Amino acid sequence: MKIGLGYDVHKLVCNRPLILGGVNIPFHKGLLGHSDADVLTHAIMDSLLGASCLGDIGKHFPDQDERYKNISSLKLLSKVSDLIKDNHYIIENIDSTIIAETPKLSPYINYMRENISKTLNISISAINIKATTEEGLGFTGKGEGMAAQSICLLNEINK
């Protein structure tokens, strides 16, 4: 068994879509980044890469590489899934938290779980996503950005 921890943060700006877990969420601001800046999916990727000792998303998808400009993070997650399988691991479960003051994310959580489940080809019951606020504290509480944390459990499969 291997456990991995992931964290990501992006600034909120005007004139960008807000995408979390591959879901386009109606909001007056979106996350700034080289790709679609999906903090949830980025945190999940980093937890998976960390558990399998394969580095982080910056190593595999550098933000200076034009191939990843505005790319869907679900496409990157699919590549991470291939790396996990190629290194003889299976995903047992993923538990993630999105940290954002607004908008309310509960109506979109199951859609996020479905997207991640399909992309990783694992049961939706192996994916938990929560959302919380920071009660007006810090950069997320002031609405300046969003963050996400993720932890996962991998098992090595017999080669």
9 in a known ligand binding site = yes
In a 3-state reduction of DSSP, which class is residue 140?
Answer: helix
Q: Is 65 annotated as a binding residue?
A: yes
Task: Give the span between the Cα atoms of 67 and 70, in whole angstroms.
Answer: 9
For residue 42, say whether it is annotated as part of any ligand binding site: yes
Is 13 annotated to bind a ligand? Reply is no
Angle at 137 between CA 136 and CA 141, to 5 degrees: 55
Known binder of ligand: residue 84? no
53: left (phi over 0), alpha (psi -120 to 50) or beta: left
- Residue 28 marked as a ligand binder: no
27 is in an annotated binding site: no
Which residues have a Cβ under 8 Å from the Cβ of 60 and sit 6 or more positions away?
Answer: 49, 54, 76, 79, 80, 83
134 labeled part of a ligand binding site: yes
Q: Is 92 annotated as belonging to a binding site?
A: no
Q: Is 56 annotated as a binding residue?
A: yes
8 is in an annotated binding site: yes
* 61 annotated to bind ligand: yes
* 88 annotated as ligand-binding: no
Nearest residue to 128 via CA among 81, 84, 91 = 91
Please tell me whether 60 is known to bind a ligand.
no
Q: Which residues are annotated as a binding site?
A: 8-10, 34-35, 42, 56-58, 61-65, 132-135, 139, 142
Q: Which residues are annotated as a binding site for a divalent metal cation?
A: 8, 10, 42
